[in-house]
Amino acid sequence: MTPPEPPFQPLRPRDPRSVGDYRTVGRLGAGGMGAVYAGRAPSGALVAIKLVHGDLAADPDFRARFRREADLVRRVSSPCVPRFLASDTGSGQPWLVTEYVAGPTLRQHVRDHGPLTGGHLRAFAAGVAEALRAIHTAGIVHRDLKPGNVVLAEDGPKVLDFGIARALAETAITRTGGLFGTPGWVAPELLRGGQPGPAADVFAWGALAAFAATGRNPFGTGSAESVAVRVLEARPDLDGVPEDLAPLVTAATGDDPARRPTVEQVLSELLGTEPTRVGGTGAEEATVRVTQVLREQWEAPSPPAAVAPHRSPTPNPDSARTPAGAGGRRWAVGVAAVATVLLVTAGGWYLGGRFGTNVDGTSARGTDGSEEGRVGGTETGAVSGAGGTIAVEMSGNGLFTVHADDSGQLGIAPGFDGVGPVLPEEAERAESAVATVRLETVSSDAAARTGVTVFGEVEYVADNGEFTLRSGDFTLLEVGEGMDPLPDDPTADGRPAHHADPDDVLVTVDPESPGAEFEVRFPGAPDSGLLAYLPAHDAHGGTRYAVRGAYACYMNWHPYPPVDMTDEEFVPCWEEPPSE
């Protein structure tokens, strides 16, 4: 009898029903390189299958990256890292299989049940340190340790996702000037352009331990810029970390990597033993001790509740909103700072103009200066009683930041300014930011290189309220002869446009459920064009706002665009790959 399936997201019509010898039974997530599926081995055991997107598999750089990832995962052996099972990096769509780890992520557990305490917390800290010891023993730096990448399994924490790990002896396969990682968990030396090393993982361990102990991001929330400034100024919030852990966590999150403890020293402090070498008998003894600690002090969490593709919105037009980060610190960095802390996207992105018009090409500003209704959805007519403006700006390569201005103090007027920042220079972006939307693109039909799938993740960064993302927020516009390659308003010149279902709610995020992934398909869209993002009038908490948006250029045939965000270089979109 086949065992029942856990509550995975259901497979979609275009998802494979098998990968190698493994049968797919549900979706676990998606990322820049591919999708992750739950599967069944021939023995019936549950497994996790990572499958590269079809169009990326044809790119030799992406294939080399995935081959390297599989090699890195194969090297690591630890009770706190999922076991490598199989891979095929030479197939048409390369894949990698590891054991399936059941349980909530640390972020999910803290959200639902609060911080870890007592022996449970120390066992967590020791388990993650043991995973890093094994990772470093294999000559690898993880580079993306964060609450969403640690699962609390029945027998202990499991560190996941080697998608951006790198071998210490290798040159990272990445775009020049790009930095992998997640703001708030990236070590300060990496923000300054340094090379990733074990000390950067120790920094992330300290931040992770602080989050587990307090339930708060140690460097706070808000825009990527504001979080980066706190990291660079070494200002973690460690209030509430237990006294017996506080000195170790403080040292681990210090600014100077040379003064942080090594992962061996971290384990020594947690286990009350002498520091071990990176490899050899001492390391094996440390693993045994950690396993014993987990057996004695680990509290197996309840499995997470059913996983749904999205949560239906519950708008509340009467809800009041306090600006995110009210009373927070002013930040003193510009767009350039954000560009140094972003994940590199799968598709090529170029920064384009900002706009405030409707997605069918009509002006967002009525003849009387009022904001017209949003086209493509159910809303038409002037926006009456709008509480302010929702403004979208490009914060970095593939990352949009959504700002909500209730009071009008930011001076955001309906309309568009063409290329340039949406908010005035003196604006406190950290206080107006409500969400970030990270976008990537791949071809829906890899063989014909037609159709576009837009996918990514939304993170809520405000302290209250909620934000809803709909399919209709996105429009793909074509480029070509006779069309301005870098228009002020990409929707106003009559160029062909491709739309998705305007009323399809993709995700709703709020402080309790701040992160979510999404995917939208545009079957008829070309492989290169302009992607316009214009939120719905009621995207923020149900209150009706005037809206203005942003657009970017996507080019799926150009996975590593030569974008120099630090110089705010606005590069037009090409219809076809440039000739050599």
pLDDT digits (tens, 9 = 90+) for 341-400: 222 233 344 444 334 333 333 333 332 333 333 433 333 333 444 458 888 887 666 778
Domain that holds residue 533: 345-567
Q: Return the C-alpha torsion angle 215, 257, 168, 35, nearest 10.
A: 20
pLDDT at 228: 82
pLDDT at 246: 96
Task: Note whether 75 and 122 are same-domain residues.
Answer: no
pLDDT at 374: 40
Model confidence at 62: pLDDT above 60: yes
- CB contact at 8 A, 344 and 178: yes
Walk across the sheet containing 46-52 and list its strands: 18-19, 22-30, 34-40, 46-52, 95-99, 84-88
- CB contact at 8 A, 390 and 383: no
Predicted confidence band at 275 (pLDDT cuts at 50, 70, 90)?
low
CB-based contacts of 28: which residues, under 8 Å, 6+ apart? Answer: 8, 9, 36, 37, 38, 48
Distances (CA, A) of 60 to 348, 503, 573: 16, 38, 23
Report how far residue 478's alpha carbon sits from residue 483's, in angstroms, rounded to the nearest whole number. 9
| Residue 11, in any domain of the structure | no
Task: Note whether 424 and 517 are same-domain residues.
Answer: yes
Task: Note whether 132 and 69 are same-domain residues.
Answer: no
421-449 confidence digits (pLDDT tens): 567 766 777 778 899 888 888 777 766 66
Looking at the DSSP bridge assignments, the partners of residue 37 are 27, 49
Task: Note whether 123 and 270 are same-domain residues.
Answer: yes
Classify residue 20 as left (phi > 0), alpha (psi -120 to 50) or beta: left
Domain boundary among 69, 99, 129: 99
| Active-site position among 144, 405, 406, 473 | 144
Model confidence at 468: pLDDT above 80: yes
Task: Note whether 493 and 546 are same-domain residues.
Answer: yes
Angle separating helix axes 118-137 and 281-297, nearest 10 degrees: 150
| Residue 160, in any domain of the structure | yes
| Residue 307, in any domain of the structure | no
Model confidence at 60: pLDDT above 70: yes
- The per-residue pLDDT of the chain, averaged, comes to 74
Domain boundary among 99, 133, 163: 99
Mean pLDDT calculated for residue range 532-557:
85
CA quadruple 282, 283, 287, 293: dihedral positive or negative?
A: positive
CATH number (domain holding residue 137): 1.10.510.10
pLDDT at 56: 66
- Enter the tokens of residue 150: 């640690």
Three-state DSSP at 353 gives: strand
Mean pLDDT calculated for residue range 155-181:
58
- Enter the tokens of residue 502: 């305007």
Mean pLDDT calculated for residue range 498-515:
86
Distances (CA, A) of 508 to 325, 432, 435: 20, 18, 11
- CB contact at 8 A, 79 and 290: yes
Model confidence at 109: pLDDT above 70: yes
Task: Note whether 46 and 125 are same-domain residues.
Answer: no
- DSSP for 417-474? -BSS-SS-TT--HHHHEEEEEEEEEEEEETTTTEEEEEEEEEEE-SSSS-EEEEGGGE
Mean pLDDT calculated for residue range 415-422:
55
Model confidence at 107: pLDDT above 60: yes
User: Which has more confidence, 512 or 557?
Assistant: 512
144 counts as catalytic: yes
Mean pLDDT calculated for residue range 479-495:
83
Task: Note whether 384 and 480 are same-domain residues.
Answer: yes
Mean pLDDT calculated for residue range 120-148:
91
| Residue 8, in any domain of the structure | no
Report how far residue 225's alpha carbon sits from residue 87's, in angstroms, rounded to the nearest whole number. 38
Predicted confidence band at 140 (pLDDT cuts at 50, 70, 90)?
confident
Task: Note whether 249 and 192 are same-domain residues.
Answer: yes
Model confidence at 511: pLDDT above 90: no
Percent of the chain with pLDDT over 90: 28
- CB contact at 8 A, 509 and 460: yes
Provide φ and ψ at 514, rounded to 5°.
Answer: -80, -20
pLDDT at 159: 93
Q: Return the C-alpha torsion angle 179, 143, 215, 469, nearest 10.
A: 50
- Enter the tokens of residue 577: 């790959």
Task: Note whether 254 and 389 are same-domain residues.
Answer: no
Report how far residue 398's alpha carbon sits from residue 346's, in angstroms, rounded to the nearest whole number. 9
Q: Kindly report which listed range (60-74, 265-279, 294-308) carries the lowest average pLDDT score.
A: 294-308
Q: Is this model's pTM higher than 0.85 or not?
A: no
Q: Kindly report which listed range (126-130, 347-351, 414-418, 457-461) carries the lowest average pLDDT score.
A: 347-351
Task: Note whether 392 and 504 are same-domain residues.
Answer: yes
What's the length of the chain? 580
Predicted confidence band at 331 (pLDDT cuts at 50, 70, 90)?
very low
b/e per residue, 40-61, with b = 16+ CB within 10 A?
A: bbeeeebbbbbbbbbbbbbbee
- Enter the tokens of residue 235: 């200002």
Predicted confidence band at 93 (pLDDT cuts at 50, 70, 90)?
confident
8-30 confidence digits (pLDDT tens): 878 877 789 999 999 999 988 76
Mean pLDDT calculated for residue range 46-67:
78
| Residue 211, in any domain of the structure | yes
Predicted confidence band at 138 (pLDDT cuts at 50, 70, 90)?
confident
pLDDT at 259: 96
CATH number (domain holding residue 41): 3.30.200.20
| Residue 58, in any domain of the structure | yes
- Enter the tokens of residue 367: 């003849």
pLDDT at 7: 72
pLDDT at 408: 66
Number of separate domains in the chain: 3
Q: Kindly report which listed range (458-462, 464-468, 504-508, 571-575) carries the lowest average pLDDT score.
A: 571-575
CB-based contacts of 208: which residues, under 8 Å, 6+ apart? Answer: 106, 128, 145, 146, 147, 150, 185
pLDDT at 400: 83
| Residue 153, in any domain of the structure | yes
Domain boundary among 238, 268, 297: 297
Task: Note whether 216 and 122 are same-domain residues.
Answer: yes
Predicted confidence band at 196 (pLDDT cuts at 50, 70, 90)?
confident
Radius of gyration of the chain (CA): 24
pLDDT at 238: 96
User: Which has more confidence, 393 or 231?
Assistant: 231
Model confidence at 239: pLDDT above 90: yes
| Residue 334, in any domain of the structure | no
Task: Note whether 31 and 150 are same-domain residues.
Answer: no
pLDDT at 316: 33
Looking at the DSSP bridge assignments, the partners of residue 140 are 167
Q: Kindly report which listed range (44-53, 85-94, 181-190, 395-404) carries the lowest average pLDDT score.
A: 395-404
- CB contact at 8 A, 46 and 40: yes
- CB contact at 8 A, 568 and 367: no
pLDDT at 365: 32
Given the structure tokens 């308003």, which residue do they identify? Answer: 489
pLDDT at 163: 54
- Enter the tokens of residue 362: 């009509």
Closest CA to 514 of 153, 211, 159, 253: 211
pLDDT at 126: 96
Model confidence at 310: pLDDT above 60: no
